Amino acid sequence: MTQPRLDGDHHVHSTFSDDARSTPAENLAAARRAGLREIRMVDHVRASSTHVPAMLAAVAALPAVEGLRVLTGVEAKILDVAGTIDAPRDVLAALGTPSGADRVLLADHQVPGTDGPWSPSTTLWLLDEGRVTRADVVELVVTGTLRAVERAGRAQLAHPFSILPKVGIAEDDVPDDLLDALAGVLVATGTPVEVNEKWRCPGPRVVARLRAAGVALVASTDAHHADDVGVYRWLRGAQGTA
């Protein structure tokens, strides 16, 4: 199966994220050692976050590396089925401008519910109680995602469908018509989808269908330490070598 190029890493965290351990400079050095041609420096945000200007300034101050393009991003949760994004409004408004990040990485860390984000435990309870069906959950995830893409304008999908296994649903339970609806919005907005090494998603069926629809695919490690930047074991082993 055709996969994204592996000489780029489009989702790398630094110490501007609470759960990451390497500085932007250390990540840049790792990308150079790995022979990457692109790296996207990304850090977590919430609506209340104030650290984005400092993060972007730190990345802008990095020395240029010949043959290596440095991109930026912020990773934010999709909060509900309406596509609300958990990021500061000024950060979203500045996407793609000289003072802003290049893209917002939209993450399905929780199910985008009808009344806000549903944690895995809440979703499992709702399923057990019969208040929602597995098909309902899948539709919420896809609909919330495509609406967030439309809201953002300049997005990248981070580890799409990673929430599903956490609530006992397989990625293959996403029907073709919902995948096609999502693909249509992705193509219309020029939104890339990352194939994520850490979370091992999306899988071959989804990748093939998105690619056939014309969706741009990029590789990412979701690295939280410089040692993992540009290191693709699952992608190389499960989907072939680029």
* pLDDT at residue 237, rounded to an integer: 81
Instruction: Name the average pLDDT for the chain.
Output: 96
Question: Exposure pattern of 200-227 as b/e (b: 16+ CB <10 Å)?
Answer: ebbbeebbebbbeeebebbbbbbbbbbe
Fold of the 8-239 domain: TIM Barrel (3.20.20)
Give 106's strand partners. Answer: 76, 157
**pLDDT of amino acid 128:** 98
The average pLDDT across 211-222 equals 98
Residue 37's CB: how many other CB atoms inside 10 A? 12
pLDDT tens profile 11-39: 999 999 999 999 999 999 999 999 999 99
pLDDT at 6 over 80: yes
| Amino acid 2: pLDDT | 62
Confidence bin at 1 (pLDDT 50/70/90): very low
Q: What CA–CA distance (Å, rounded) separates 214 from 209?
A: 9
pTM: 0.96
Taking CA 148 as the corner, what is the angle to CA 146 and CA 154, rounded to the nearest 5 degrees? 100
